[in-house]
Structure 1
Amino acid sequence: MPAHASTSKNHPETGPKDVKIAVLLSTYNGEQYIEELLDSLLHQEFESWDLWVRDDGSHDNTVSLIRKFKKRLEDTDRRNRIFFIQGENIGVTSSFFTLADAAESGYDGFAFCDQDDVWHPDKLTRAASALSTHRASTQKNQSSREDLTNAEGPFLYHCRQWMTLADDPSVRELSPLPKRTGFGNALVQNQVVGCSMVINAELRKLMTMAFSRYGNNVSEHIIMHDWWCYLVASAFGDIYYDSHPSITFRRHDRSSSPATTGILQQMSRRAIALQKRSWSVKHILDQAASFQQVYGNALSNPKKKDLLNMAVKLRKSGLFFRTGYFFSGRHYRSTRFETLVFRLLVVAGH
């Protein structure tokens, strides 16, 4: 999986002319910050975008603020650029899958968007340039792809973020750089933040195969939409990491913010997170089994198939196999410490 870092700021002011992006925004009780987020969309240098919003059953003022923004956009821009789905509460994962499935045709890229962040003016410009460069590169160099993909192949762009605290914006720190990425990592850890991510049409098509299979129950099989995209892209396509921060990401839990904790506390927090019900080793391995159900037959790379089969086998393995995995397992998290913790939890049967 090629992973490239970019620090160049020499992007065209408005981005490539041959790219159109659907911004996918799922909302839920987001009245406190959503106006600031929507305003940051209006200040994007890149103009060829539509906004797809799905409200996940809010019971505050979120829906009225979205409708107000929609009218504002319609009054100042004759293009129909905002599509609004007012839905029932199905959870963030299913909501984003619903949006990705709904915004089906006519787009080259799909940008996931959280209701409480702020996008910098160059966010979509940089992503669109990366999408265009990837398409041009793959057209020149036709390479073999996994069976599910076309010549262009799935492509995932993600960027660094400024991280701040919701209750103290003066605290600001750059997000950690992704380390030791690849399919062996994606099976057991997500290092791609959804709000920083833009995927191409091919990756959207593959991603939504899971939605076609599981429907609104997709959240019972998949931990998060962004993790799933990382899995699919690392299995079948390419990932581009842009180290230039183009988003301000709000943390709502002070105890979970890297901006307020040291290295040892970060390690401890991540270790504890692996034991939480919704992020436990069991759920991680169950997600791998779901990935195998949807894509396993199309995964032809022998090393990746072995990594996937091992993760699935761990779900129902005995102590002997799990102990062997502790010494010889080939999945890895971003640090050796986290990898060690993960393997210990596997042995313990968590």
Structure 2
Amino acid sequence: MDNSVAILMATYNGESYLAAQLDSIRNQSETNWKLYIRDDGSTDDTAHILERYAEQDSRIVIVHDHRGNVGVKSGFWSLLTSVDATYYFFSDQDDIWLPDKLNKSLSCLRESDLNIPTLVHTNLKPVDATLKPLGGKLYPDAGLDKPNVILASNSVTGCTIGINRILRDAICQDDASSMVMHDWWMGIFAAYIGQIKYISDATILYRQHGNNQVGTDTSIWSRLRRINAYNAEIARVDQSMIQARAFLKQHSRQLSEAQRQLMSVYSNINALSFIQRLRACIRYQFRKQSVLGTISLWNIIMFKNKRLETN
């Protein structure tokens, strides 16, 4: 049986932390893998770093597709749809993989039925730019991959994800422009049509620096600031509904009637009356990963139109 493992990495101006991430992948206890890297037109020393590592390690393959700067989502999707493997993993350019990261995730995937689309994801340990710990693990020990949660809130973090071939084949023809992000789309597919497995151990040092600091700051005050930024929060909820509508259109035949109904109600909930929206929230228990996030979601669903009119 083919057990080929492809690690996919999209890079862009990553010279500051790229070498450390590549070293952590090369130091994995699992050694049977190939790392496919697509650069998105970096203007710093990223390309030279990649060339140097590719010369040192034949498992590292630089992919040149001459498409130019397409963004992180399309960059990863291009790799996923062009690379042939049995198992696929996704890597950011600035984290650190702990030595058993790949082995733990692979073991979980290999124990799964090859005929069931399977996604495995793990916890993370947030660190600062110098790898100083910023607290405990990012997520709770129990996964939050319920169908009523993952529509509104991405509960799988792309840099921890591993998927099997049947999941990849089932989505590789999907329109990337319909997705908020590739990892979220894969998570929805696995939650509704396949299965999600969660490893509560942190397998990655999740480096926080510059622009990525805001999105992963999980302090109470940070969450409150994000919730109170109503326009941005409304936009995120709107994007999740548009994505759900696109997913329903592309995969409706693979869903059960109950799943179609849940996804249809969520994606079109803005068209309902106030009472109908309230009943839908109660019946389907639409929620996010945290209590504060869920309060914000229900607030937007129930009062969004009024808030938009007053802004």
In structure 2, the partner of 1:230 is: 187
**Change in CA separation of 1:296 and 1:113 when aligned onto 2, cut-off 3 Å:** same
Calculate percent identity across the aligned residue pairs.
26
Equivalent of residue 262 in structure 2, options 288, 294, 307: 307
1:293 aligns with 2:213: no
In structure 2, the partner of 1:96 is: 76
**Change in CA separation of 1:161 and 1:233 when aligned onto 2, cut-off 3 Å:** same
Kept in 1: contact 2:248–2:260 (CA 8 A):
no
1:166 partner letter: A
Kept in 1: contact 2:96–2:204 (CA 8 A):
yes
Equivalent of residue 116 in structure 1, options 90, 94, 106: 94
Shift of 1:153: 1.1
Shift of 1:20: 2.1
Distance 1:204 1:100 in 2: 7
Equivalent of residue 276 in structure 1, options 219, 232, 236: 232
Equivalent of residue 189 in structure 1, options 153, 170, 178: 153
2:206 partner letter: F
Shift of 1:315: 4.6
Kept in 1: contact 2:234–2:300 (CA 8 A):
no
Shift of 1:208: 1.6
How large is the Cα RMSD of the aligned pairs? Answer: 2.4
Q: TM-score, normalised by structure 1?
A: 0.78
Shift of 1:202: 1.0
**Change in CA separation of 1:314 and 1:229 when aligned onto 2, cut-off 3 Å:** same
Distance 1:327 1:171 in 2: 36
1:49 aligns with 2:5: no
| Structure 2: gaps of 5 or more residues | 306-311
Distance 2:119 2:225 in 1: 27
In structure 1, the partner of 2:308 is: none
Distance 2:265 2:192 in 1: 15
Question: How many residue pairs get matched?
Answer: 301
Equivalent of residue 204 in structure 2, options 230, 243, 247: 247
| Structure 1: gaps of 5 or more residues | 1-16, 75-79, 139-151
1:267 aligns with 2:247: no
Kept in 1: contact 2:50–2:62 (CA 8 A):
no
Q: TM-score, normalised by structure 2?
A: 0.88
Per-residue CA deviation, residues 15-59 of structure 1 (Å, 9 max, x unaligned), is: xx9632100000011111001111111111111111111111211
Shift of 1:305: 1.4
1:161 aligns with 2:124: yes
Distance 2:161 2:185 in 1: 12
